A and B are shown apart, each in its own frame.
Chain A
């Protein structure tokens, strides 16, 4: 099914090699890549050869995918015809322990995205990659790109050093709110802590599926710390989260809030309402049964048609064939998910399509 005019809110350009980034690094770091023998910063959350990380037909002879604008034009734009696609580059910047090195590589990744992707394909937009390790440096990075309207959000991983609600991160939210940039919280870890709440897992499948725990933890953290009272215009996009974990979590969270809200009195309304106003979720992967009737029920449990944002998760392997939109979505809902909801979420897209 084509999706002409849609806004694809989660696609992943891959950095082909360290050498691709070197021209975009400052001179000191260019030399360090050579002298220190830095080979790559690929994130362990996305091992290249894991089947989920690229559909087979999109891999080259070495198994690599989504490494050039020509490939995304052919594989994504020609096939589904979206009006816009938003690049979330998951290169392992947020895993680097040295926060200055992280900032240098964040800048290089953003320069690479601007030059190698955005300059070459006008239908592309991108999230600003930031060194979350140091919010002051992260704000510098946001300010560096804020004047470029092709950057439409700020990208962080769902698992970093600290829960995202903590005031440590608030300078990032202040800058994001000021510039109309939603915070995109994407699946993935900086591996500072075990990726499950009960310790290190053994297998990749565990690592991948339990990330919903982290989305729950960050949703609870952001709301409980009062981030949306402090930054009332801030929007959060949960990307590649699986979506359908949300209703049961919110039933639990809203019930808990009723009895415990005196602990966090700035949370002056139900978490359910705060999520409806401030959180959005990308569509793929969509964890649901095959039966369209049951899918419709799951959508009903979300309680709002405003929450979902169309996404392919290109080049990740989340669905087969052309059926990006799961069965069970009404025509009206599909239109909202493809166009209206993204436009309402990313103010910087306004007037550009």
Chain B
């Protein structure tokens, strides 16, 4: 496992996302209300890019005709067939045990810490003033 600096915190606004590549693996970074999440960018169903999916609430119900929303923005819908994945766990709604997408730990680190290392930031320069999104892969 290594920590990879993949973006400045400022470049992914709330509700935004960024597709990055780490060790040849496409990884989707999402920002939801101050928290960052990282998922492998291929839907386990047919390989759709989750990075281009809509972020939705978790839709629930306690009976016919009754609708509830929770965890706003924390569910990504695959753009191809609409399967839903939990950003926090990578588990699908439809089959959480067998059908899940790999998720990765993400943190936001200050430029000062990133400069100290041992971080990998091959793709862009890091300055001590900024804040950076760091993914462990």
Q: Which residues in A have some Cβ–Cβ distance to B below 8 Å?
A: 167, 225-227, 229-230, 257-262, 265-266, 268, 270
Are B59 and A230 touching (Cβ within 8 A)? no
Are A226 and B83 touching (Cβ within 8 A)? no
Are A259 and B83 touching (Cβ within 8 A)? yes
Are A230 and B82 touching (Cβ within 8 A)? no
User: For the complex, what is the distance from the CA of A260 to the CA of B77, rounded to whole Å?
Assistant: 11
Are B64 and A258 touching (Cβ within 8 A)? no
Find residues 64-80 in chain B having any chain A CB closer than 8 Å to their own CB: 64-68
Q: Which of A167, A226, A258 has the most CB of B within 10 A?
A: A258
Q: Which of B45, B61, B94 contacts A265 (CB 8 A)?
A: B61
15 contacts between A and B (CB under 8 A): A226-B64, A230-B63, A258-B82, A259-B81, A259-B82, A259-B83, A261-B93, A261-B94, A262-B56, A262-B59, A265-B61, A265-B68, A266-B64, A266-B65, A268-B60
Are A225 and B64 touching (Cβ within 8 A)? yes
User: For the complex, what is the distance from the CA of A262 to the CA of B94, rounded to whole Å?
Assistant: 11
**Which size class do B's interface residues fall under?**
20 to 34
User: For the complex, what is the distance from the CA of A226 to the CA of B67, rounded to whole Å?
Assistant: 13
Q: Which residues in B have some Cβ–Cβ distance to A below 8 Å?
A: 45, 56, 59-68, 81-84, 92-95
Q: Which of A167, A225, A226, A262 has the most CB of B within 10 A?
A: A262
A contact face: mostly helix, strand, loop, or mixed:
helix
Chain A residues with Cβ below 8 Å from B63 are 226, 229-230, 266
User: For the complex, what is the distance from the CA of A265 to the CA of B84, rounded to whole Å?
Assistant: 13
Are B59 and A258 touching (Cβ within 8 A)? no
Chain B residues with Cβ below 8 Å from A265 are 59-61, 67-68
Other than the known A226-B65, A266-B65, what 14 A-B pairs have Cβ atoms closer than 8 Å? A225-B64, A229-B61, A230-B64, A258-B93, A259-B82, A260-B82, A261-B93, A262-B84, A265-B61, A265-B68, A266-B61, A266-B66, A268-B60, A270-B94
User: For the complex, what is the distance from the CA of A227 to the CA of B45, rounded to whole Å?
Assistant: 29
The 8 A-B pairs with the shortest beta carbon distances in the complex, nearest first, are A259-B82, A226-B64, A265-B61, A258-B94, A266-B61, A262-B59, A259-B81, A265-B59
Chain B residues with Cβ below 8 Å from A260 are 82
Chain B residues with Cβ below 8 Å from A167 are 64
Chain A residues with Cβ below 8 Å from B83 are 258-259
Chain A residues with Cβ below 8 Å from B93 are 258, 261
User: For the complex, what is the distance from the CA of A260 to the CA of B93, rounded to whole Å?
Assistant: 12
Are A268 and B64 touching (Cβ within 8 A)? no
Q: Which residue of A lies closest to B67 (CB)?
A: A265
Chain B residues with Cβ below 8 Å from A229 are 61, 63-64
User: For the complex, what is the distance from the CA of A261 to the CA of B65, rounded to whole Å?
Assistant: 13
Q: Which residue of A lies closest to B69 (CB)?
A: A265
- Closest Cβ–Cβ distance, residue B93 to chain A (whole Å): 7
Q: Which residue of A lies closest to B75 (CB)?
A: A262
User: For the complex, what is the distance from the CA of A229 to the CA of B63, rounded to whole Å?
Assistant: 6
Chain A residues with Cβ below 8 Å from B59 are 262, 265
- Closest Cβ–Cβ distance, residue A259 to chain B (whole Å): 3
Q: Which residue of B lies closest to A165 (CB)?
A: B64
Q: Which residue of A lies closest to B94 (CB)?
A: A258
Q: Which residue of B lies closest to A265 (CB)?
A: B61
Chain B residues with Cβ below 8 Å from A270 are 94-95
- Given contacts A265-B60, A268-B61, whether A257 and B66 have CB atoms under 8 Å apart is no
Are A258 and B81 touching (Cβ within 8 A)? yes
- Closest Cβ–Cβ distance, residue B62 to chain A (whole Å): 8
User: For the complex, what is the distance from the CA of A226 to the CA of B61, rounded to whole Å?
Assistant: 10
User: For the complex, what is the distance from the CA of A249 to the CA of B16, rounded to whole Å?
Assistant: 38
- Closest Cβ–Cβ distance, residue A166 to chain B (whole Å): 11
User: For the complex, what is the distance from the CA of A347 to the CA of B56, rounded to whole Å?
Assistant: 43
- Closest Cβ–Cβ distance, residue B49 to chain A (whole Å): 16
User: For the complex, what is the distance from the CA of A257 to the CA of B82, rounded to whole Å?
Assistant: 10
User: For the complex, what is the distance from the CA of A167 to the CA of B64, rounded to whole Å?
Assistant: 10
